[in-house]
Structure 1
């Protein structure tokens, strides 16, 4: 099973979400940014690296947010999310077509990847 680490990057009353670009798996779907953990890497190291590689942003990783397993057709993934805080950087998109800062109660307006939906529900419950 592939383990993917996601960042719940909060700023004020909004969360950062990203839309998968054309040519990517799940193109057009929204997600909490992150990526696959590499061997010997901690979840925190993975998130810092992936957010820097994919979005050119620097983050501070905070507390564990949640975890779920989703049985995608290509194989199950274990998605683990951590809260994070934006430290800086100029956003540059590499595997996404767009990013958006979204109020928690507006998350339902976006078409999320199935594995991310439990995190959407948890965030909306915090409104």
Structure 2
């Protein structure tokens, strides 16, 4: 997917969208959901932890960094979940990966107002951010089939 921007001379400038990564951290058949604390327009809505991939950083490295910053946990990144989700009018794309906690780490809500572990049956009990909602649907069968993480 590409976006086009018209430069000052009227030429279309093709750019790849910015990549935002999210971690579907799975343990014992449940996935970690995080309630946004800010900004006010999305506070209380639920998301997967993650953030922007920095220039020169791999998607996996970005996820490992974001999980450490947001939750104070070490994770191992697994497979992609679902498809690319367009965000910010096509300027960004969300890519979510499964992840598992390492070394007995337990997530702490450093940047979120609340954390919850949700089973497949509980996924619809929280109000997901629009970008995360398509991932939730793709995640449900993974939670039902894989309780080993």
- TM-score of the two chains, using structure 1 as the length reference: 0.88
Flag the 1:106–1:72 CA change in 2: closer, same or farther, 3 A.
same
Mapped to 1, the partners of 2:99 and 2:28 lie a distance apart of 12
1:71-110 CA distance string (max 9 Å, x none): 446x643110111111143433232101111101210111
Which stretch has the larger CA shift, 10-19 or 20-29? Answer: 20-29
78, 98, 105: which one pairs with 1:89? 105
Distance in structure 2 (CA, Å) of the matches to 1:99 and 1:27? 13
Greater Cα radius of gyration, structure 1 or 2: 2
Stretch moving more, 35-44 or 22-31: 22-31
User: Which residue is equivalent to 1:62?
Assistant: 78
Distance 1:115 1:36 in 2: 14
- Identify, as 1 or 2, the structure richer in strand: 1
Q: 1:100 to 1:71 in 2, by over 3 A?
A: same
- Structure 2 gap segments, 5+ residues each: 1-16, 145-149
Distance 2:87 2:96 in 1: 17
- In the TM superposition, what is the alpha-carbon distance from 1:67 to its structure 2 partner? 2.9
Other structure's SS at 2:94 match: strand
Residue 22 (structure 1) shift: 3.8
Q: What is the alpha-carbon root mean square deviation over aligned residues? A: 1.9
Q: Which runs of 5+ in 1 are unaligned?
A: none
User: Shift of the alpha carbon at 1:68?
Assistant: 2.5
Q: Taking structure 2 as the reference length, what is the TM-score of the superposition?
A: 0.76
1:44 aligns with 2:60: yes
CA contact under 8 A between 1:24 and 1:95: conserved in structure 2? no
Specify the alignment match of 2:10 in structure 1: none
Deviation at 1:66, TM superposition (A): 2.7
